[in-house]
Structure 1
């Protein structure tokens, strides 16, 4: 499929790489199809297939915070069809403010790569911050309990 983007122009994306978010992303419930576009590692873009203007800078949170950990609720496991971490991608949204990179650890994006279905969560754990300054990437170490 040829994807039209305002940031990158026309991009070719294989149909099997389209991620379905049946409930959309937080604040974008009507946009339900996305793809991951490469950028400068470890950063990627989660780009809407349906709106050429909507894209989110994302990364694997474990690149920056190896001790990051959260529990995926049972209903999310059932919704995504994920019962282990083997086929799961975790992203968090990054923002840049005053030339500083911040990450939202409170609302991870979970993707089951076996069925390309995703969900944008809001974690109930009040100890997990919404906005955290990123200093430097470190080796990946997964701590998701799914």
Structure 2
């Protein structure tokens, strides 16, 4: 499938790599189809398939923060139809402000790489930061079934 993007022009994406967000992404509920496009490993673009202007910079939070973690409720795993934890990929949205890189750790994106179904969560834990400074460069990445690095 060919998709148009504002940042990368027209790109070819395998239909099996289209990520479905049945409930959309927070703030973008009507956009439900996305794909991951490479940028600078382990950073990627989460690009809307339907709106070339909508893309998020994302990364695996575990490669950026050694102590990051949160509890995934059973209903989330059921919603994503996740049978194996190994199929779950986690990403956080990154933003650049004043030449510094920040991660929103409070709203991770979970993708079931077995069926490409995803959810954008909000973690109701005050100890988790919505704007965590990325202080060190990523050190290790792995590739999962959805074609992302984490």
Q: TM-score, normalised by structure 1?
A: 0.93
Q: Unmatched 5+ residue regions in structure 1?
A: 142-146
Q: In the alignment, what sits opposite 2:77?
A: 77
Q: Unmatched 5+ residue regions in structure 2?
A: 143-150
Q: Establish whether residue 104 from structure 1 lines up as the match of residue 104 from structure 2.
A: yes
Q: In the alignment, what sits opposite 1:28?
A: 28
Deviation for aligned residue 1:117: 0.1
- Structure 2 CA distance for aligned equivalents of residues 79 and 71 of structure 1: 15
- Structure 2 CA distance for aligned equivalents of residues 113 and 131 of structure 1: 27
Instruction: Give the number of aligned pairs.
Output: 141
Q: In the alignment, what sits opposite 2:145?
A: none
Task: Map Cα deviations across residues 73-124 of structure 1 (whole Å, 9 max, x no partner).
Answer: 1111110011442101100000000010000000000000001000000001
User: 1:124–1:78: structure 2 CA closer, same or farther, 3 Å change rule?
Assistant: same
Q: TM-score, normalised by structure 2?
A: 0.91
Q: In the alignment, what sits opposite 1:138?
A: 139
Once the two structures are superposed, the pairs formed by residues 45-124 of structure 1 within 5 Å of their partners are 45-124=45-124
- Structure 1 CA distance for aligned equivalents of residues 42 and 78 of structure 2: 29
Preserved contact between residue 64 and residue 134 of structure 2 (Cα < 8 Å): yes
Preserved contact between residue 80 and residue 117 of structure 2 (Cα < 8 Å): yes
Deviation for aligned residue 1:140: 5.6
Please provide the CA RMSD for this pair: 1.2
- Structure 2 CA distance for aligned equivalents of residues 83 and 123 of structure 1: 22
- Structure 1 CA distance for aligned equivalents of residues 86 and 41 of structure 2: 22
SS of 1:75 mapped into structure 2:
helix
Extract structure 1 runs of 4+ deviating beyond 6 A. Answer: none
